[in-house]
Structure 1
Amino acid sequence: MNAVVFAYHNVGVRCLKTLLARGVQVQLVVTHPDSPTETLWFDRVADVAAEAGIPVVYVDDAVDAALIDRVAALSPDFLFSFYFRRMLPARLLAAAKTAALNMHGSLLPKYRGRVPVNWAVLHGETETGATLHLMEAKPDAGDIVAQQAVPILPDDTAKEVFDKLTVAAEIALWNVLPQLMRGEVPRRRNDLSVGSYFGGRKPEDGRIDWNQSAQSVYNLIRAVAPPYPGAFFDHLGRRFIVARARIASPSLRARIADKSTVGLHIAEGQLLARTGDGGALHIIELWDADQPGIPLNDLQISELATQQS
């Protein structure tokens, strides 16, 4: 079985390694160059390919005609896309003799589109997973070939869920590869009528509105917690990032029961945030956005809470 692989990020690394472990002959790997503006907290597909002696092509923007011609000349049995950040054109998909397959980070048909893990956490889901599906011109719309679910625990951040999803993708691919290598492509309908689609997220989408419920604010904090850009609020011309938080316990919440204003409060040395539904969050780690990764000390936190009150 021969394959051309378009891949990036940790899912790309683990799925490429899974193909190689199953004995798939990977003829070419296409990946993205590292962006100097992005925090690179993930592994590099190019390193795995280089170690295995596989030719690598870097693509920043759309796939061009020359690359499509190169892939078509290889006449691969399969074309795989593992967290590649560009849609693959129909002419490229047609180069696969058996099937062109994509690994998506949700349990399709739910959370089609961009950054599905972050959206699932933001919406308070208790489960997500990885789906291997046939690629079509429409994103994440092809028949489902394999799926693997993982739980989302109440305090999981998007990074923790993404780590689980990476393993789920590996398991889903590992389990279905024997069939694929026999030329068999199991498939079931991807019913878009019962699914959902979400677009990309911008850093500004991480702005905290303390007037929302405690659970809604907490889900936002978890969904964009570092290494993602982080949930933030502005105060007196400065921006602060809530790096870690928890829903306040009843005993902690009782300490600010007499506070009517939403936002930050200090109670017995703990930084709490009153929310619009009368709930509270326990802010465990707070950063100045100009010094990310460095938690504010007790004096800085006390001054901030005093200024806001």
Structure 2
Amino acid sequence: MSRIAYVNGQYVRHADAAVHVEDRGYQFADGVYEVCEVWNGNLVDVPRHLDRLGRSLSELRIDWPMARSAVNFVLHQVVRRNRVRDGLVYIQVTRGVSRRDHFFPPEGVAPSIVVTARASSAAAAAAQAEEGIAVVSYPENRWPRVDIKTVALLPNVLAKQNARENGGKEAWYVDADGFVTEGGSTNAWIVTKEGVLVTRPAEDRILRGITRAVVLEIIKKEGLTFEERPFSLEEAFNAKEAFVTAATTVVMPVTRLDGKMIGNGHPGSVASRLRELFHTATDLRVV
């Protein structure tokens, strides 16, 4: 079966999907995106993702490409048409197509929207979680507004490629003061030897992760001890556990950092439990 994409009002074969060469997403990375998990035939936390999409659009002064309810409909349609039971659905909105100019386009230029979906293996993800992943640190070099989920991801690409070339699956950005900000495409967490969960506050130096927010709700419900504060790379080396969160990974244990073993080198009980509970706390919408 051919994959199907939605591009500016039309469902087309993925192989034929295209935007104009002067789309501002291509020319200037002038756009935003969201990624939603598809789990067991359900779209996960779509209302929260659409809330964040709306915030990102507002911060960049880009209009919604269509009514929010219509975007929601398209997300479901693309997942259905691609018969994705487990995987991801991606939405990208840019400022639209206009003559290349740094200034905003003239009034009347419509935003562009692209939605795609792809399947992934739930079994492979579970096997990865049982093993854990390696993370490689990288100097923080992004613009300050990483709270906006823009398509300007070149620093993330370079950080994650560096991680891959050094045996890692993910990068952790480290700021000038030696504190971890977040991952290349995830939020970063540790569990101290005292059993305290720690993650950086969701201020303008990290993205306000949807998965992060759900995990915080689980932590409170389970009565776990939690501190929302920066943690240093050195503190991470000495942690009992570490993990990352994102729609693409859910809760994924980290077992090595810069080649050093975290804890006993195996996924910890806290991260594993949070992963187990995750979908019991999410908003699930049947596709």
TM-score by length of 2: 0.27
CA radius of gyration, larger in: 1
Q: Which structure has the higher relative contact order (CA within 8 Å, separation 6+)?
A: 2
